């Protein structure tokens, strides 16, 4: 009897053993991808300055003109995701991440020197491409380390990273804009990004030590090399692309993510300006209030992944749908609440952040990795992100046009409609589970 108990306890310890260095790897990826947001979300703190008159130290751009800048970066990001998702199956993640991190820092500095609209569109589009070098290499590294049964929880944890840094970005860029003008919102975060790149180069390990060179390095729950689907570096970029686009589940994920991103970047790109205008406050104070949105997102990112593993047998669509419907309802109330009560606005922003980033983390990384064919996880994530950012670019354009023509209320109602449509698209995958191919 004692022998049996000893064998059982040994088996239990084996199931829970993780490969050596996993904790360091997870925190490194957490910081690495999160750092990209310092040079992406910071644009929201610069938008009020871009809209302000030349006499007030701004550039005097209209909302529609600003939408061209915001939309241009997302189109470039979408194309970059599509391309880099394929290249991430072939090239070293550390190299791609280093190029992306240092490139985006440099482009933020250059953007701050700009004054002409078309120059700003071009530079911020280049920044979008540099930003696209962040996520798919991280997905490749995570798939190398984490088996599918823990992937929802782990990617949910990584999702808290870019929410935590988004909080810091709103505070840092908002205060930089308040003290140094809108250009400060670009230059200060660029310095932080360079420091994060150094940390990544020092600590990122692309695969666990137990890995052999024949596969993707996934490690099973017992700490041994996984025998599941493998990323095959022998596949050509074209092969990976054809495998990816022939998967109908990824199209539905992309449509849902595109609609969610249209709503999401409404809040991210335009929400701080909305709060500044309707509550008649300075950009520094507005940024401090708006920083609570990513705080809610930290909880949403982790809880959504955990709940999909715990309650839905690693099916991602049910949690995604529930949160998207809730997001639509909260968005319908947001403009009215923002005009009436500061405390209620802060509470609502926390809830909105939770409901945006819970499904976003599932759609952007966990679900594509689950539903990818033949282990082309990074290619799948890149394809879904491509569609997601085409939706985001479209959302910026229609938000800007609606804002110029009809004002804030109708623009925010449009965000609610996009969240509802995203829920319908995700609902078609309600029973989808990880691919066994």
Of the two residues 71 and 13, the one the predictor is more confident about is 71
What pLDDT score does 209 carry?
75
pLDDT more than 70, % of the chain: 87
Average pLDDT, the chain: 85
pLDDT tens sequence across 337-395: 999 999 999 999 999 999 998 999 899 878 888 888 766 777 788 889 889 989 999 99
Counts for the chain of helices (H) and strands (E), in that order: 19, 0
| Distance linking the first and last C-alpha atoms of the chain | 41
- Asked whether residue 10 is assigned to any structural domain, the reply reads no
pLDDT tens sequence across 10-44: 334 434 566 778 889 999 999 999 999 999 989 99
With tokens 């809730």, the residue in question is: 326
- Asked whether residue 7 is assigned to any structural domain, the reply reads no
- Asked whether residue 327 is assigned to any structural domain, the reply reads yes
Instruction: Report the C-alpha gap between 78 and 227 in whole angstroms.
Output: 32
Q: How many CB atoms lie within 10 A of CB 288?
A: 17
pLDDT band at 180 (very low <50, low <70, confident <90, very high): very high
Q: Are 69 and 111 in contact (CB under 8 A)?
A: no
Whole-number CA gyration radius for the chain: 21
Q: Are 74 and 128 in contact (CB under 8 A)?
A: yes
Q: Are 328 and 419 in contact (CB under 8 A)?
A: yes
pLDDT band at 210 (very low <50, low <70, confident <90, very high): low
Strand, coil or helix: 342: helix
Q: Are 104 and 80 in contact (CB under 8 A)?
A: no
- Asked whether residue 16 is assigned to any structural domain, the reply reads no
pLDDT band at 233 (very low <50, low <70, confident <90, very high): low
- Asked whether residue 435 is assigned to any structural domain, the reply reads no
Q: Are 77 and 389 in contact (CB under 8 A)?
A: yes
Which long-range contacts link 20-27 to residues 24+ away (Cβ below 8 Å)?
Answer: 20/208, 20/209, 20/210, 21/205, 21/208, 21/209, 22/145, 22/208, 24/203, 24/205, 25/141, 25/145, 25/204, 25/205, 25/208, 26/154, 26/157, 26/158
> Which residues span the domain enclosing 261?
21-220+237-427
Counting the structural domains of the chain, the total is: 1
Q: Are 47 and 66 in contact (CB under 8 A)?
A: yes
- Asked whether residue 373 is assigned to any structural domain, the reply reads yes
Which class for 343: exposed (0-12), middle (13-18), buried (19 or more C-beta within 10 A)? Answer: exposed
pLDDT band at 117 (very low <50, low <70, confident <90, very high): very high
Instruction: Indicate whether 423 pLDDT > 90.
Output: yes
- Asked whether residue 5 is assigned to any structural domain, the reply reads no
Instruction: Report the C-alpha gap between 381 and 84 in whole angstroms.
Output: 10
Which long-range contacts link 417-420 to residues 24+ away (Cβ below 8 Å)?
Answer: 417/328, 418/259, 418/260, 418/262, 418/263, 418/266, 418/391, 419/259, 419/260, 419/263, 419/324, 419/325, 419/327, 419/328, 419/331, 420/324, 420/325, 420/328
Instruction: Report the C-alpha gap between 420 and 199 in whole angstroms.
Output: 40
Q: What does pTM read for this prediction?
A: 0.75
pLDDT tens sequence across 249-294: 999 999 999 999 999 999 988 998 999 899 988 888 888 888 888 8
Distances (CA, A) of 401 to 163, 408, 420: 28, 11, 21
- Domain CATH code at residue 291: 1.20.1250.20
- Asked whether residue 3 is assigned to any structural domain, the reply reads no
DSSP string for residues in 302-313: HHHHHHHHHHST
419, 313, 429, 417: which is closest to 371 by C-alpha? 429
Instruction: Report the C-alpha gap between 98 and 44 in whole angstroms.
Output: 25
pLDDT band at 216 (very low <50, low <70, confident <90, very high): very low
pLDDT tens sequence across 129-169: 999 999 888 988 988 888 877 877 787 788 778 778 888 99
Q: Are 378 and 294 in contact (CB under 8 A)?
A: no
């Amino acid at each position: 009897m004692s022998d049996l108990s000893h064998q059982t306890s040994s088996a239990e310890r084996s199931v829970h053993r993780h490969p050596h260095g996993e904790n360091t790897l997870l925190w490194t990826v957490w910081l690495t991808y999160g750092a990209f947001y310092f040079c992406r979300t910071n644009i929201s703190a610069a938008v009020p300055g871009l809209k302000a008159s030349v006499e007030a130290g701004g550039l005097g751009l209209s909302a529609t003109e600003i939408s061209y800048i915001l939309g241009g970066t997302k189109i470039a990001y979408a194309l970059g995701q599509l391309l880099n998702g394929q290249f991430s199956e072939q090239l070293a993640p550390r190299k791609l991440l280093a190029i992306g991190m240092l490139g985006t820092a440099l482009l933020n500095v250059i953007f701050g020197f700009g004054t002409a609209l078309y120059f700003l569109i071009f530079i911020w589009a280049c920044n979008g491409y540099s930003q696209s070098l962040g996520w798919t290499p991280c997905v490749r590294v995570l798939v190398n380390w984490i088996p599918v049964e823990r992937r929802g929880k782990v990617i949910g944890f990584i999702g808290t990273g870019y929410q935590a840094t988004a909080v810091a970005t709103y505070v840092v860029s908002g205060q930089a804009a308040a003290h140094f003008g809108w250009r400060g919102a670009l230059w200060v975060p660029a310095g932080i990004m360079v420091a994060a790149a150094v940390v990544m180069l020092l600590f990122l390990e692309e695969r666990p030590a137990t890995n052999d060179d024949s596969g993707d390095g996934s490690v099973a729950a017992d700490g041994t090399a996984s025998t599941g689907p493998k990323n095959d570096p022998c596949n050509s970029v074209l092969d990976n692309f054809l495998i990816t686009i022939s998967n109908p589940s990824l199209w539905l994920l992309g449509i849902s993510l595109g609609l969610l991103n249209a709503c999401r970047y409404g809040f991210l790109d335009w929400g701080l300006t909305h709060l500044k205008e309707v509550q008649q406050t300075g950009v520094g104070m507005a940024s401090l209030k708006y920083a609570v949105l990513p705080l809610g997102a930290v909880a949403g990112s982790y809880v959504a992944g955990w709940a999909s593993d715990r309650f839905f047998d690693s099916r991602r669509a049910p949690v995604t749908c529930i949160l998207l419907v809730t997001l639509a309802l909260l968005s319908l109330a947001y403009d009215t609440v923002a005009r009436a009560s500061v405390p209620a606005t802060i509470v609502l922003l926390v809830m909105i952040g939770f409901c945006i980033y819970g499904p976003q983390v599932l759609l952007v990384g966990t679900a594509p990795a689950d539903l990818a064919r033949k282990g082309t996880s990074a290619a799948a994530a890149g394809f879904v992100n491509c569609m997601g950012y085409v939706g985001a670019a479209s959302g910026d354009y229609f938000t800007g046009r609606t804002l110029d023509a009809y004002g804030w209320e109708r623009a925010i109602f449009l965000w609610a409609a996009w969240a509802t449509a995203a829920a319908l698209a995700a609902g078609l995958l309600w029973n989808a589970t990880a691919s066994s191919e």
